[in-house]
Chain A
């Protein structure tokens, strides 16, 4: 009996160290594709819908320069949340459990091995910050080409506020996401690109295709301007 207990204690203590070395960064890079519609990592990475993730390890939560965090994240940061292997692991497993009311609209990764692989990949951009791999930034926010003149339209936030009534029947204006994604505080380009992708049918979602389908370029720009502006 005593022996069994000791063995269990040993396994418990070893589990995370073991997991860290067990992660496969190449597989993690593939898994990161599901993150890359919002997050950039690597050389030249900047904040998009989500903050850039270089040097994420050992960074205090809510500290990416220039990123507007949700109230939920600001609370977690004030509470002393620091990104370690363990905290990142539990955040990725289920974001809303660790940080309630985060705007991160991601249901989480259930498989431990997948999380280990993803974290092994992210570590490449933290553990030796002077030696960030030369790979292109992994962001893929632009999944649909939008003409520059359409992206250049400056939207009217007052009109956007009226139009937003069609969005807020489902998407919460507080930014909370519980089954339907948050759409507040996105960079306007990302918002415009996403809406045109639905409008053209490139992104598959019948409700969004229908809602975006009758919005003009100006109306999409107006919505982007409004949702970018609200706190």
Chain B
């Protein structure tokens, strides 16, 4: 091609235009702010910092200094883990990965100015914002319950003090008393979680309070790993667990935290412990940022970017992404896809195609572990399931014990992947 003056001028102008944005940025590195230090946010921050080798300025905003994982918290209720073993600090992410860790609440997002406001008053500018805020509860989901009742009737669906409170209440139950659970409607964090919890509570009660009863009010027709859990409850905790599904009024419940009653379809039950797990929605900052549609934040599967704002990405429980269950494993998997895409957008590094996976282990009783898992791919509409498996009923004791050992290995693996 012959270069005439006009073409030359044109391409020079275009080049200048292209360079303009990076030139401004060159005064400082591209900035990524991550809100939420759980399985999605901590993993995203760590991979961004690790893989960009200093080319990105990564800030992680998380209110708690010690993060207690919600996954494996049921094992604490069953006496298989102590609370200390579930706590993790952000020290390594700060010291070894150079992540700016800020322990504060994010209370505002200005999408035009591209800034985040913190409760402490400071403002953080970003080039890309990653929201991984987990869940909040839908107001009025269970008649008679709101967060002001969470001491009398804990949800214990965020790790830490709520879990400890629930355990203390279980240990203080009178002999022959009743533990009740109000199970959540779909979709919610950790589909097998409520039922693993029933198993672990039954395990503890069998030891300290063998005549106690467990009552579940469940709005769902069926639930994750149902065959496996029901087999296990019959085998290990015969006669202890009663589940009332929607056919018998399990969706028509109210509670009275003062009187400690659970009313199912008009029948009033006196209960000693009442674990209310209400309907869930995306963590509040997603709503504040204006990127939710209904209860959740819709995202594009290829890079977990918000369908409302290309400069914001949403990970984990808060995202409406398609077929993946809301789990720590899923959030960790999505975080790596997102980190790869964000780094590519801001530094020009290679962006590889998205691929996702999830596996959830559950413990039913001592050395009786089961699992469910699947692989996923990004389509234009959603994250779509590719392949999957679930443990079978009637498996050998050896296989169940090996599955439990594997779950311990997974826990160590994922927290190393999150916190370094």
Residues of A at the B interface (CB closer than 8 Å) are 107, 158-159, 161-163, 165-166, 168-174, 176-180, 206-207, 209-211, 213-214
Pair B388/A210 contact, Cβ less than 8 Å: yes
Complex contact A179–B333 (CB within 8 A):
no
Residues of A within 8 A of B352 (CB): 159, 162-163
Chain A contacts for B337, CB-based, 8 A: 165
Chain A residues with Cβ under 8 A from B391's Cβ? Answer: 206
- Collect the chain B residues with CB atoms within 8 Å of residue A107's CB: 405
Tell me which residues from 11 to 53 in chain B have a Cβ below 8 Å from any Cβ of chain A.
47, 51
A169 touches which of B355, B389, B408, B414 (Cβ 8 Å): B414
Residues of A within 8 A of B408 (CB): 178-179
In angstroms, Cα B240 to Cα A184, docked, is: 46
Please name the residue on chain B nearest to A209 by beta carbon: B389
Digit string of B123-159 for contact with A (CB within 8 Å is 1, else 0)? Answer: 0000000000000000000000000000000000000
Chain A residue numbers with a CB within 8 Å of B412 are 172, 176, 178-180
Q: Enumerate chain B residues within 8 angstroms of A168, measured Cβ to Cβ.
A: 413, 416-417
Roughly how many angstroms separate A34 CA and B359 CA in the complex, as a whole number?
27
A169-B417, A172-B416 known; A158 vs B410 contact (CB < 8 Å): no
Residues in B lying within 8 Å of A, measured CB to CB:
47, 51, 329, 332-333, 336-337, 340, 350, 352, 355, 357, 359, 371, 373-375, 386-389, 391, 405-410, 412-414, 416-417
Q: How far is the CA of A33 from the CA of B118 in the complex (A)?
A: 59
**Contact in complex: A210, B389 (CB < 8 Å):** yes
The residue in chain A whose Cβ has the minimal distance to the Cβ of B328 is: A169
Separation of A213 and B388 alpha carbons in the complex (Å): 11
Q: Contact: A207 with B414, CB < 8 Å?
A: no
- Give B374's nearest chain A residue, CB to CB: A210
Lowest 7 A-B CB distances belong to which pairs?
A179-B409, A180-B409, A165-B336, A179-B408, A206-B389, A170-B413, A179-B405
Verify B329–A169 contact, CB threshold 8 A. yes
Q: Give the distance in Å from the alpha carbon of A107 to the alpha carbon of B409 in the complex.
A: 12
Give the complex CA separation of A107 and B357 in angstroms: 27
Measured CA separation A209–B371 after assembly (Å)? 14
- A207→B359 contact, CB < 8 A: yes
Most chain A beta-carbon neighbours within 10 Å: one of B333, B375, B389, B409: B409
* B residues in contact with A179, CB < 8 Å: 405-410, 412
State which of B329, B350, B416 has its C-beta within 8 Å of the C-beta of A173: B416
**Contact call A176/B374, Cβ cutoff below 8 A:** no
A residues in contact with B355, CB < 8 Å? 163, 166, 214
Are A214 and B375 in contact, with the CB atoms below 8 A?
Answer: yes
14 new A-B contacts, CB < 8 A, other than A107-B405, A213-B387, are A163-B352, A165-B333, A165-B340, A166-B333, A168-B417, A169-B410, A172-B413, A180-B406, A206-B371, A207-B389, A210-B357, A210-B388, A211-B375, A214-B387
Most chain A CB within 10 A, of B333, B350, B410, B414, is at B410
CA distance A21 to B405 in the complex (A): 35
Given contacts A206-B389, A210-B389, contact A169 B357 (CB under 8 A): yes
Residue of A nearest to B353 (CB): A162
Q: A159-B352, A166-B333, A166-B355 are in contact. Are A210 and B387 (CB under 8 A)?
A: yes
Kindly state the separation between the CA atoms of A202 and B409 in the bound complex, as whole angstroms.
23
Residues of B contacting A209 with CB < 8 Å? Answer: 389
Given the complex, which residues of B lie within 8 Å of A178, measured CB to CB? 408-409, 412
Q: Which residue of A lies closest to B356 (CB)?
A: A166
